[in-house]
Every structure is written in structure tokens, then in C-alpha cells.
Amino acid sequence: MTNLENEAFENLLEYFRQSRGFDFTGYKRSSLKRRLHKQMQIREIANFTDYLDYIQVHPEEFLPLFNTILINVTSFFRDQAAWHYLQAQILPEIISKKRDTDPIRIWSAGCASGEEAYTLAIIWAELLGIEEFRQRVKIYATDVDEEALKEARQASYGAKCLELIPEPLQVKYFEKIGEKYIFRSDIRRAVIFGRHDLVQDAPISRLDLLVCRNTLMYFNAETQGKILNRFHFALQNFGFLFLGKAEMLLTHSNLFTPVHLQHRIFNRVSRNIESRQFLSLNQGNGESENTRLNLLLKLRELSFEVNSFASLIIDSNNNLVLANAVARSMFGLNLTDLGRPLQDLQISYRPVELRSQIEQVYNTRNNLKLTDIPYHNSNGATQYLEIQINLLPDSEQKWQGVSIIIIDVTLYHELQEKLQRANQELETVNEEMQSSNEELETTNEELQSTNEELETTNEELQSTNEELETMNEELQSTNEELQTINEELRQITGELNQSNAFLNSILACLKSGVIVINQQLNIISWNHESENLWGLKLDEVQGRSLFSLDIGLPFDQLREAIRNCFEKNINNNELILDAINRRGKSIHCSISINPLLDSQETLLGLILVIDEI
């Protein structure tokens, strides 16, 4: 595409943004151009400049154009295996992390005509039961296409759309009215439809599940990144993201981690302190001292919880008061252990006898540090720990307990051992070490270069995969259009056949001979009475010139009358002629010549009605 064509294309996109508020600048250019060319071919327009002129003069063109660009290809239970995994594994996990009365919030982004939103309603209603579903679940279904949303709100589908839904679920959730199936209204009220632009509008928040399938693949990499950041903000901690089969998020591991990559289900990566908590703290100027104090205490708890070292708090009665996430994971503790006596817990003697050490700290009034403590973890590997036991005095310098900080120094320990061995061998292998270091640096550079090439290749493959999936949906959309056209043609053909049969029945009932000719004087129709008069059947004369037939009609006398009807459009020109029938008998004929006209009064041919007198 030349620079001028590219400029015309960008001008067209800018016109869409300014005149209709549709910003397509974040969409993949190759896909956009294909969809635009398709619509331009329908209008028989060759270039983007002419199409911009056309759309400015014909604003009604926006509707079919956007329907072409925004491919609304969807279905109930699309990719059934992925939906079954979601229903069996992910939904129960979401429920397990909530109290019985907590609401469940779901967002179906890019919902098109609503099939996936109603699929979500079905699987949640099956899992929770109808009554609990109505009380707890809210499904927000959004799309940028108003026409698709209008169709989705009607919740009316043909039988073909329901093919992937098991028959018991069809009976349970749909009511047949005429030729359409209507989604049941009490479940429908839990689904809220609205227009939303993923690129420009703020995301829906506090979500447990976000479904956005085969939508991201239409955007370029930069826009995908922006949308995924919004999705990350929208989901609650441990919320789930369900994407389409062409969307893998390989370059966004800081936001989402795969739960089941084959089915494209991802988990939100939690951040240590959410931005909304900072906002709450900053808005505390008008709050009470107690509220601000609670916020500060909450932040202190959060900072303790996310500490990268295992941390324990033991009170003066030797009870376990607090244990952060690292400590719970490392030593097999859980929240129910908080408040229990230290002596009842395995950590009191493993990896080291803690009670005697704590007693020593109380007696000496000095903090204690234990180094290089070996610890065999649950995987059978040996770790080396540094344990710090610190006294916790209050404002009156009374001891309220101790803080125990456990640091994994395995790496340091290993490095120290290696350093000692290396020092022993340094004098003899210095040159070899230097050479090896250079080789390692070279290898590292090569590996880094290879890694960058692989990342580039992977992004290209991902982009190609998304492009192929986009083209597949375009082909599916085109196929549906062709099926609709084929059905219309079949209906028209049936009507035409019915009309022909009706006309032939009328002609067969007439007691007069009827011959229909076109403007080239070729025979179109020839009824049964004409066969009786002249001895020739329809298949013998159809398509032949009337004047080429060897029958008993005096064509020399007819020729002038027929020419006058064609040239002067004379109606009901009647002649009395002598003729010879198929038996060789002389007869007198009355011949009426009438024009054959279409609905626009255009002359198509002549109708000759012949009666024997």
C-alpha cells in the first residue's frame, strides 16, 4: 500500500473517531483494511478517499460498515471443553473463597449478541441453584456494537443457535415461542447489558470472573497491554480471566499467570498493596482519628504479611500471636494455629529448640542471632537459616513478647563454601577461571541474543495466530451471510416454480391454442390445445422460431400482424385465417395477438390465442 493510500486510510479512521466516537486506532491494521475492503466492494468503491466521500454523503452507511468491522461471531458453549473445565474447576474455587452471602460479580466483555453471557448464567444457575443464583450473581455483559446489544437484550434465538446446548438445559432455560427460543426471564434479569469501549471506558471493578473471548486478538500489542492492565485492576485478588483460544498472554506474566493454558484460563497476579488502599489513606483528611489509626494498623499488618522473611510474634505467655505468609508456607502453619501455645507447634523444636532460646533472651535482656542452622524442608532439600530473636518492649520498657525473624541464607551459605573452595584453588586455576569467565560472558551474550530472537519469534507467531483466528471468524461470518442468501434464493425459486405450475395449469385448461413467443420470435410456451391443432409437443418447439415450424398456419399473413404488434404495441390484434390442422383438414382460425408485458410495462413478447371457428 502506497503512502497516499495509507494516509487516506488513516484519514478515514480519524473521521470515524471525530464523527461517531469510534476509535479504531488501536485495532490491527491488516484486519481493519480487510473488513473495509469487503464493504467497499459491496459499494463498488475502489479507494479509501472515495469511500470517505461516500460515507460523508450517506451517513446511513455507518450501520452496515460497523456491523462488518465488528465481527459478531459467537455461540452458546463455544469451545465446549473450556466451558466444562470452567464449570467443574474454576467456579467451585471462586465459591470456596466467599461467604454464603457474598455477591458474585462477572463481566462478559465483547459479548456480541449475548450467547456467552447467557452461557455464564446457565452454568452459574446450575451450580448454585436458581434461587441462590438470583440473589448472589450479577453478570455485566458489554460490547461496543449497539445493534448487537439490542439483539442480546431480546434474548431470542433460532433453533440452530441452541445446537451446542444439551437438550435438558434447553428445556430448562428456554421457552419456545413460534420459531424462536426465548431465554427465561427470571434468570435473564441477572444479566445487565450495556455499551462499553474497552479502549476508552473505565473497567467494571471488584470482579470474580472476567470473560473476554476472541476480542483482544483484534487489537495491536500496545492496546492489548492497556486493556489487560484495566482487566488486572477490575479483578479482585485471585480473580480469574477467561480468554479465547487465540489469546495466550505470554508477554504479560506480571499481570496474569496461567491456570490452564490450553483452555486459556488465567489467574490475577496479586500486588502487595493495592492502589485503592493508598487512595483510601489519602482521603483520610476528613476522617476521625480512630479511622486513620485503623488504616495505619491495617497497613502495618499488610507490611508484616508481605515481609519477604519468615516472621513470627510470640507473646510473653509463649503463645504464637502472628505468623506471616512466608512463615506459614515454610513451616506448615495455618491461621488456626494463631493463639496456640508455642510448645504445641512443631516449629518450637524444628529447625531449632526455640523455647530455651527465647528464655535466654528474656534472662539476658539481649537480642539473639543464630546462624547457619540446617533445616530439612518438606521437599527433602537442606536449607540454612539465620534466626533472629528480638525483644518487644512497650512504651514503659516492659517485655510484651519476642519477634522471631527467620532468613533463608542457603544461597549465602553455598556461596561462602564455594568461595572458600575457590580461594584454595585460585592460585592454580586463575588463568583457567579467567578463560572460563570470558567464555561464560560470550555464552551469556549469545543466550541473551537467542532469547531476544525467540521472544520476537514468539510474538510474531502469536500475532499470526491471532490474525488467522480473526480471518477464521470473518470467513464464518461470510458463510452465515451466504447461507442466508442461499435460503432467500431457495424461497424465491420455490415461489417461481409455484407460479410456473400455476400458469401451466391455467394454460392446460384453456380450450384455445396458446402460443407465447419472445421478441426474437422464439417459442416460450405452447399449451396442450396447440399440440392438438398442429401435432407438435412443447419440447419439440420450445426455443425454436415460430416461423421455422412446418405447420398449417399461413405465416406470411401472420408476419405483418406480429410485426405491427411489436413496433406499434397494438393490443388485441385479431385475424381470421384459413389453416390446415395436424390431420390435414382445412379449418378457419380466429387468432388474437396480445402483448406480453412485465411489471414495468416493458414488452417481453406476444401471446397468440388460436380458436377454431
> What does the pLDDT look like over 152-166, one tens digit per residue?
999 999 999 999 999
The mean pLDDT value for 317-341 works out to 84
- Asked if residue 555 lies in contact with residue 531, where contact means CB atoms within 8 angstroms, the answer is no
* Domain at 304-412, CATH class: alpha beta
- Asked if residue 517 lies in contact with residue 523, where contact means CB atoms within 8 angstroms, the answer is yes
Q: Which amino acid is at 394?
A: D
Q: What is the pLDDT of residue 439?
A: 81
CA proximity to 212, closest of 294, 108, 124: 108
* CA atoms of 422 and 420, how far apart (whole Å): 5
The mean pLDDT value for 262-285 works out to 59
pLDDT in tens, 557-604: 888 888 888 877 666 678 888 888 888 888 888 888 888 887 787 888
Could you give the angle at the alpha carbon of 510 between the alpha carbons of 506 and 514, nearest 5°? 95
The mean pLDDT value for 514-536 works out to 88
The residue to which cell 456491523 is assigned: 67
Q: What is the pLDDT of residue 17?
A: 81
pLDDT in tens, 121-135: 999 999 999 999 999
pLDDT in tens, 397-410: 677 889 999 998 88
pLDDT tops 50 at residue 283 = no
Range of lowest pLDDT (80-89, 229-238, 374-383): 374-383
Interacting residues of 214 by C-beta distance below 8 A, sequence separation 6+? 73, 110, 244, 245, 246, 247, 469, 473
* Higher pLDDT, residue 249 or 447: 447
Q: What is the pLDDT of residue 569?
A: 64
Four-way CATH pick for 80-269: 3.40.50.300, 1.10.10.10, 3.40.50.150, 1.10.275.10: 3.40.50.150
Q: What is the pLDDT of residue 297?
A: 59
* Angle separating helix axes 48-57 and 29-42, nearest 10 degrees: 60
Residue 307 exposed, middle or buried by CB count within 10 Å (0-12, 13-18, 19+)? middle
pLDDT tops 80 at residue 186 = yes
For the chain, give percent helix, strand, coil, nearest 5. Answer: 50, 25, 25
pLDDT tops 80 at residue 303 = no
- Asked if residue 249 lies in contact with residue 243, where contact means CB atoms within 8 angstroms, the answer is yes
| Maximum C-alpha span of the chain | 147
- Asked if residue 182 lies in contact with residue 175, where contact means CB atoms within 8 angstroms, the answer is yes
3-state secondary structure of 484: helix
* CA atoms of 153 and 118, how far apart (whole Å): 11
The mean pLDDT value for 23-45 works out to 83
CA proximity to 69, closest of 17, 33, 18: 33
Q: Which amino acid is at 56?
A: Q
Q: What is the pLDDT of residue 24?
A: 80
pLDDT in tens, 56-81: 888 888 778 877 777 777 899 988 99
pLDDT tops 80 at residue 51 = yes
The mean pLDDT value for 7-29 works out to 81
* Higher pLDDT, residue 137 or 46: 137
pLDDT tops 80 at residue 382 = yes
Q: Which amino acid is at 103?
A: P
CATH homologous superfamily of domain 506-612?
Answer: PAS domain (3.30.450.20)
The mean pLDDT value for 251-264 works out to 84
Length of the chain: 613
- Asked if residue 418 lies in contact with residue 425, where contact means CB atoms within 8 angstroms, the answer is no
Q: What is the pLDDT of residue 301?
A: 67
Domain ranges across the chain: 3-69, 80-269, 304-412, 506-612
Q: Which amino acid is at 447?
A: L
Please name the helix (run of DSSP H) or strand (run of DSSP E) that holds residue 20, with its range, or none: helix 3-20
Q: What is the pLDDT of residue 412?
A: 86
The residue to which cell 458474585 is assigned: 104
Q: How confident is the model at residue 86 (pLDDT cuts 50, 70, 90)?
A: very high
80-269 and 506-612 agree in CATH topology: no
Interacting residues of 495 by C-beta distance below 8 A, sequence separation 6+? none
Residue 268 exposed, middle or buried by CB count within 10 Å (0-12, 13-18, 19+)? buried
* Higher pLDDT, residue 542 or 499: 542
* CA atoms of 353 and 358, how far apart (whole Å): 9
Q: Phi and psi of 341, rounded to 5°? A: -60, 140
* Higher pLDDT, residue 390 or 424: 390
- Asked if residue 409 lies in contact with residue 385, where contact means CB atoms within 8 angstroms, the answer is yes
* Higher pLDDT, residue 70 or 4: 4
Q: Residue 27 has what DSSP assignment?
A: B
C-alpha cell at 554: 399461413
Q: Phi and psi of 526, rounded to 5°? A: -155, 105
User: What percentage of the chain carries pLDDT values higher than 90?
Assistant: 23
* Angle separating helix axes 29-42 and 410-509, nearest 10 degrees: 10
* CA atoms of 532 and 612, how far apart (whole Å): 11
- Asked if residue 110 lies in contact with residue 212, where contact means CB atoms within 8 angstroms, the answer is yes
* CA atoms of 231 and 220, how far apart (whole Å): 16
Range of lowest pLDDT (288-292, 372-376, 529-533): 288-292
Q: What is the pLDDT of residue 394?
A: 65
End-to-end Cα distance, the chain: 77
User: What percentage of the chain carries pLDDT values higher than 70?
Assistant: 92
